Structure formats: C-alpha cells, structure tokens
C-alpha cells in the first residue's frame, strides 16, 4: 500500500509493505539472526541476513527517538546474547560493556530511520550505515569493543573472509551488509539490488581466487608452547608459585622430548609463575640510559641480581633440557619495576631470553583491558568519586587494576638460527589479538609472523575461545602472516594466512577438547612476505563509511526539508 510518512510534512511518497508496520518484530528477527551467526551456534550465514530485518525495523519506526531506543534495547540483547561469557569474570563487567556499547546500536537505528525510510536505494545506504556504525564500536570509547562485528562471524567462512586483506574485518562486514541489502531490495522492490549483488559476487570470486595466489612460504622456525591449564584461582594465589613452576617445567620437558629442535619455546600470558618478592620475578627499568648509568644504588643492584638469579635458576633448568639446541624463550610474565619518574610500575609483558639465559628484547602490552588491567577515566574523576569507585571495584575484584600500558606497538628481534640474522616477530598479548590495525602496525615494522600470548582461564570453556579464534583468522588474512597462539587453557594453535580455521596438527586438542585442558603444542611456522592493501591503508574503508553515513544523513535532512509534493 502507499501512504505518506506521518512524521514530517515534507516527506516523500514511498512504497511501504504492510509488514513494516511491525518494527519490533523485525528487530527481534534481526537480533535472533545476529546471535545465531556467532559461536556457540556458528551459523555464519545468518550474518548475511541480519542487517535486512534490522534495516526494515529502523525504517519503519514512528520517530527517530523511537528507533534509537528500540535499537539500544536490541543492542543490549546483542551484547548479552553474544558476549555473555564476560559474566564469567563478573556480572559487573558484562553490565558495564552492555551499558556503554548498546547506545551505539541505537545510533544505527536512528540513522537508519533518517536515511532508509525515505525510499532511497538500500545500496549503498545499508552497508555504509552498518559499517560506519561498526567503525564507531571498534574505536569508542577509548579502545572500543571489536566484538559482535558481522565480519567476525564471517571469518568462519574461508571464501568470504578473503576480502579482509583488502579492508580488514570491516570489508567483510560491508560485503555481508551488501548481501542483506540485495535481499531487502529483492523482497521490497526498492532499488539497489543490482549493485549490491555485484559487490557480493566480486567478493565470492575474490575469495575463490585469492588463496591460490599466495606465494610458497619459506620454511620457518619450529615454535612450541606449553598450555598449563591453570585454574585462574590457582594462578592468583601467590603461594602456588612452586606448584605452577612444577607443571610448567614438566611441560617444557615434554616439549624437549616431542620437539627437541624447537627454535622458540613460549610461555603464555602471565604464565611465568614467579612474581612479587620472588628472586625469580621479572623486573624492568624504564628509566633513560643516562639515569640508569648514574644509578649505582640498590635499584641497579637488585636488577643485576635478578638477572643472575634467573640465568642460574629456573632459566638454567629450562635451557639444560635442550642440550646443544640454540633455543630461545618468550616468557609471558607480570613485570615489576621502576618507571621513568622513579615510581613503581606493573606491566603485562613478554620477555625474550637467549640460549645462554641472557635477557634480550621485551614487549609490554599496550592495549589494556578496561576494568581488568586499568580503570578508564579514573584519573579525571574528583577524589571523592575516585575513592568510591576504588572501594566498589575492590569489593568486586579484590584489587584495583593499575597496569601501566606499554609505549607503542613494536616487534621483537629473535635470532632464530645459530649465527643467523635476527627475525622480527610481532607479539601481542591477550585481546590485542582483536585489533586488526594494531597487528597491521607490527607487520609494517617487518614482523615475519605474529605470536599471541593469552590467558583466557577467566572464561571457563565458553564460546569466548571461538571468538578469539575468529579474530586470529582475520588477523592472519589481513596481513597474510601466520599467527601462533600460546594460551593458558586454549585454544593454542597455528593459524595460516589462507583463511582456514586451524585443525588437525595445527591445533592442540586433548582427548577431543581444545579448551580447559593442559598440554603442549608445536608447529613449524611458515614465513610469508609481501604486503596487502589492508596493510597499506588500514581501516580506511571504515572511516569512509563513517563519512558516508554523515553525508547520507545530511542528504536525508535536505530531502525532508523540501516542500511537500501537491
């Protein structure tokens, strides 16, 4: 039927199917499709459909405010349905993420109401608005929350994920929303079906051709990791250090038997068992060279003694397992030390040690977990509010997180062959794995492959592990570099740059389980070179869609201000 849109006297006459009178029903349909697209359901093809009913719901809303609030509530449903595993750490964490991120979904509803209700072509409007909205969610507030993206769900499809090397995860999302736009145009008779189908068809064609164009990789290093399987409570008890060391050492001994020629042995995030006042804890000094040279006092003596303790103590025990093999060690550890201003610091770091037990390079985690490693905006709060917040957090978690971020993304140089030249590798820690642009910077600095150290023991055996695996596939495709994952409880694996999910010998499984288990994993990492368009321009597509969304909103405002057609 035909009707005049009631909300603005100057709106155009458009064809509006009767079913669009039910925006809430369409919204719930889209919500269900989004949830089904992600683990644990893994029905990735639902992501190709979800933007269609959600776009209809936005277009059929009675007002912009109504669309905003409906989609804010739908955003709550999306976050609870896809990220419920955050509650494994604390219901408070899940609540905070939901409250902060849900209104961004509301912005999509409002923008969709402004742009899509006026009879405009659904392509490129729907994919531009959707991808621009995901760009906001990836970057705001602070480091954003890059989960529940359409492209993340499509990482489970080895064909459609290939476009990630053109524009990252958002390129995959754009193709996904284009498929939904084509379906919407087909069902409603709106314009836009043809160009939307062209985009999807080109993406499918690219997905079939691109893997075959990858060059033959060079034979890379043999990398092995322990997967201790520590319960998070055991890990957090300081008195359990000896128990944790016993398990770690035992697993390294297994590696020495299974992979005696290992070039690099990795301990996952914070799995070095010694911390605090232990003589084997990791100590750092972030002062300038001049300040370190001038200091001949207790700080310098403590740092020197710590290095000698490590070399002759646990590191000596580890390297003795490998006899003459020139094995290097990459150890995920909490680090204590002295900041540039002389104050005490706590960092989440990865330390490189050579075959002789001497410390080499170090990487400090840059993108920290809000609420888990630091409190966002804490330092700008009034003192009374800050004290209240600290008390509340301490009551919830038992401590106030105050980890210091690293300075920048930087590679670690590892001499992976006797007498060979150093090989740069890109190390990320924990959910830095979820940020494509961050990993892109590491490869731009020359990283031959990526290593992700992670401790996801907080999340039991939940779908969080599958989400991180999908992120890993995206990072490997975006940069066309292999990615080696070293984890506490799973999923430890080798992700190859062809877009396939790791399986068989590329994945640690114990009696059929890939999470919540202890074991060892090793693989020879293939070395790829070359560049990709994503490495060249990063998330430019996302920024373009964000700018395009503003332009569409401006154009929609101009149309609505015209006089009514008599």
Q: pLDDT band for position 353 (50/70/90)?
A: very high
User: In which region does residue 531 sit, left (phi positive, over 0), alpha (psi from -120 to 50) or beta (all else)?
Assistant: beta
Q: Which two tokens stand for residue 538?
A: 């990063």
Please name every residue paired with 329 in a beta bridge, in sequence order, or none if there are none. 265, 353
The answer to whether the Cα torsion of 533, 536, 538, 541 is positive or negative is negative
What is the per-residue pLDDT across 271-321, written as a single tens digit (0 to 9) for each? 999 887 788 888 887 766 555 555 556 667 777 888 888 888 899 999 899
Under the banding of pLDDT at 50, 70 and 90, the label for residue 418 is low
Q: Residues 67-88: pLDDT tens digits?
A: 999 999 999 999 999 999 999 8
The reply to whether 324 falls in a domain is yes
pLDDT at 1: 40
Specify the higher pLDDT residue, 559 or 89. 89
State residue 13's pLDDT score.
33
Most confident of 65-79, 263-277, 418-432: 65-79
Say yes or no: 442 and 346 in one domain: yes
Strand partners, 23: none
Residue identified by tokens 């919407």 is: 184
- Pair 438, 394 in one domain: no
Alpha carbons 108 and 58: distance in angstroms, whole number: 8
Residue owning tokens 């969080």:
464
Q: What are the helix (H) ranges across 321-406?
A: 383-397
314: in domain: yes
Query: Lowest-pLDDT range, 34-43, 93-102, 103-112?
Result: 93-102
User: How large is the angle between the packed helices 91-116 and 51-59, nearest 10 degrees?
Assistant: 60
Domain of residue 229, residue span: 222-364+405-529
37 and 175, same structural domain? Answer: yes
Q: What is the pLDDT of residue 287?
A: 66
Q: How confident is the model at residue 34 (pLDDT cuts 50, 70, 90)?
A: very high
In-domain check, residue 345: yes
C-alpha distances in Å from residue 222, one per residue of 175, 255, 564 = 37, 11, 71
**Statement to judge: residues 228 and 355 lie in one domain:** yes
Phi and psi (nearest 5°) for 283? -115, 145
CB atoms within 10 A of CB 542: 26
Residue 482, domain CATH: 3.60.110.10
3-state secondary structure of 355: coil
Q: Does residue 35 fall inside a structural domain?
A: yes
* Bridge partners for 284 per DSSP: 337
Predicted confidence at residue 289, as pLDDT, reads 59
- Tell me if residue 328 falls in helix, strand or coil: strand
Q: Is 380 helix (H, G, I), strand (E, B) or coil?
A: helix
Question: Residue 88 falls within a domain, yes or no?
Answer: yes
In angstroms, how far is the first alpha carbon of the chain from the final one? Answer: 19
565 falls within a domain: no
Q: Rounded to the nearest 5 degrees, what angle is found at the Cα of 261, between the Cα atoms of 521 and 480? A: 60
d(CA 547, CA 541): 10
Find, among 32, 17, 39, 33, the residue nearest to 469 by Cα.
Answer: 39
DSSP symbol at 357: S
Question: Does residue 564 surpass a pLDDT of 90?
Answer: no
Domain count of the chain? Answer: 3
* The pLDDT value given to residue 415: 85
What does the pLDDT average to over 124-153? 96
127-138 residues labelled b (16+ CB within 10 A) or e (exposed): bbbbbbbbbbbb
Rounded CA gap, 502 and 232, in Å?
26
pLDDT at 18: 44
Residue 566 within a domain: no
Q: Span 258-281, mean pLDDT?
A: 91
Q: What is the pLDDT of residue 340?
A: 67
Peptide bond preceding 124 in cis form (omega within 30 of 0): yes
Cβ atoms of 112 and 58 closer than 8 Å: yes
Same domain, 293 and 349: yes
**Residues with Cβ within 8 Å of residue 294, at least 6 apart in sequence:** none
Q: Could you tell me which of 271, 238, 226 has the C-alpha nearest to residue 508?
A: 226
This prediction's pTM: 0.91
pLDDT at site 7: 42
* pLDDT level of residue 402 (50, 70, 90 thresholds): confident
| Mean predicted confidence (pLDDT) in 478-489 | 97
Do residues 183 and 52 touch, judged by C-beta distance below 8 A?
yes
Residue 406 reports pLDDT greater than 50: yes
Between 11 and 143, whose confidence is greater? 143
Across 450-487, b (16+ Cβ under 10 Å) vs e yields bbbbbbbbbbebbbbbbbbbbbbbbbbbbbbbbbbbbb
Residues 164 and 252 in one domain: no
DSSP string, 416-470: -STTPPPEEEEEEEGGGGG-HHHHHHHHHTT-SSEEEEE--GGGTTSTHHHHHHH
Predicted confidence (pLDDT) at residue 322 exceeds the cutoff of 60: yes
Residue 200 pLDDT exceeds 80: yes
What's the pLDDT at 307?
83
On whether both 478 and 555 belong to a single domain, the answer is no
Q: Is the pLDDT of residue 239 over 70?
A: no
If asked whether residues 270 and 233 sit together in one domain, one would say yes
- Whether residues 14 and 78 share a domain: the answer is yes
Q: Does some domain include residue 432?
A: yes
Section 165-192 average pLDDT: 96
| pLDDT range class, residue 2, cuts 50, 70, 90 | very low
Residues 326 and 397 in one domain: no
**The pLDDT of residue 14:** 40
Cβ 20 vs Cβ 60: under 8 Å: yes
Q: What percent of the chain has pLDDT over 90?
A: 67
Residues 181 and 228 in one domain: no
Question: Which range has the worst mean pLDDT, 281-290, 354-363, 440-449?
Answer: 281-290
Taking the C-alpha atoms of residue 468 and residue 157, their distance in angstroms, rounded to an integer, is 15
411 and 511 in a single domain? The answer is: yes
Three state DSSP letters for 511-527:
CCECCCCCEEEEEECCE
pLDDT at 237: 53
């Amino acid at each position: 039927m035909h009707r005049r849109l009631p909300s603005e006297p100057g709106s155009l006459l458009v064809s509006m199917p009767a079913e669009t009178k039910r925006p809430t029903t369409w919204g719930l349909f889209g919500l269900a499709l989004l949830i089904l697209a992600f683990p644990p359901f893994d029905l990735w093809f639902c992501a190709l459909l979800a933007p269609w009913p959600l776009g209809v719901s936005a277009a059929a809303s009675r007002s912009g405010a109504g669309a905003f609030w409906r989609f804010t509530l739908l955003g709550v449903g999306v976050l609870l349905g896809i990220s419920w595993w955050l509650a494994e750490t604390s219901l408070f964490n899940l609540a905070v993420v939901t409250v902060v991120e849900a209104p961004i979904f509301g912005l999509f509803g409002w923008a969709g109401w402004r742009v899509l209700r006026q009879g405009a072509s659904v392509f490129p409007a729907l994919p531009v608005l959707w991808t621009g909205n995901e760009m906001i969610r990836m970057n705001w507030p602070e480091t954003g929350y890059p989960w529940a993206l359409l492209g993340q769900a499509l990482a489970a499809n080895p064909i459609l994920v290939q476009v990630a090397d053109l524009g990252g995860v958002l390129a995959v999302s754009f193709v996904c929303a284009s498929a939904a736009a084509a379906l919407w145009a087909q069902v409603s008779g709106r314009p836009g079906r043809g160009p939307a189908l062209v985009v999807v068809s080109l993406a499918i064609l690219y997905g079939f051709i691109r893997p075959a164009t990858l060059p033959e990789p060079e034979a890379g290093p043999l990398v092995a990791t322990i997967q201790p399987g520590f319960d998070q409570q055991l890990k957090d008890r300081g008195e359990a250090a000896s128990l944790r060391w016993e398990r770690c050492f035992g697993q390294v001994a297994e590696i020495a038997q299974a992979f005696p020629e290992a070039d690099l042995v990795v301990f996952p995030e914070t799995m070095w068992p010694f911390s605090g006042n232990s003589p084997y804890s990791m100590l750092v000094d972030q002062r300038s060279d001049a300040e370190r040279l001038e200091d001949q006092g207790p700080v310098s003596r403590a740092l020197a003694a710590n290095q000698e303790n490590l070399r002759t103590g646990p590191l000596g025990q580890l390297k003795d397992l490998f006899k003459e093999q020139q094995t290097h060690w990459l150890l995920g550890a909490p680090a204590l030390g002295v900041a540039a201003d002389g104050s005490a610091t706590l960092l989440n770091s990865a330390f490189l040690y050579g075959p002789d037990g001497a410390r080499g390079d170090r990487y400090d985690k840059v993108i920290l977990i809000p609420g888990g490693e630091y409190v966002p905006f804490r330092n700008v709060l009034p003192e009374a509010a800050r004290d209240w917040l600290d008390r509340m957090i301490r009551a919830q978690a038992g401590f106030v997180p105050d980890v210091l971020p690293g300075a920048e993304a930087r590679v670690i140089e590892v001499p992976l062959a006797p007498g060979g030249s150093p090989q740069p590798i890109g190390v990320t820690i924990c959910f830095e794995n979820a940020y494509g642009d961050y990993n892109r910077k590491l490869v731009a600095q020359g990283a031959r492959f990526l290593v992700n150290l992670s401790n996801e023991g907080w999340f039991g055996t939940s779908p969080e592990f599958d989400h991180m695996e999908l992120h890993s596939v995206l990072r490997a495709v975006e940069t066309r570099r292999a990615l080696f994952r070293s984890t506490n409880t799973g999923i430890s694996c080798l992700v190859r740059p062809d877009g396939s999910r790791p399986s068989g010998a590329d994945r640690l499984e114990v009696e059929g389980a890939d999470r919540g288990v202890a074991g060892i994993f090793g693989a020879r990492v293939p070395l790829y070179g070359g560049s990709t368009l994503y490495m060249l321009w990063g998330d430019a597509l996302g920024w373009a869609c964000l700018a395009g969304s503003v332009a569409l909103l401006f154009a929609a405002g101009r149309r609505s201000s015209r006089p009514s057609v008599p």
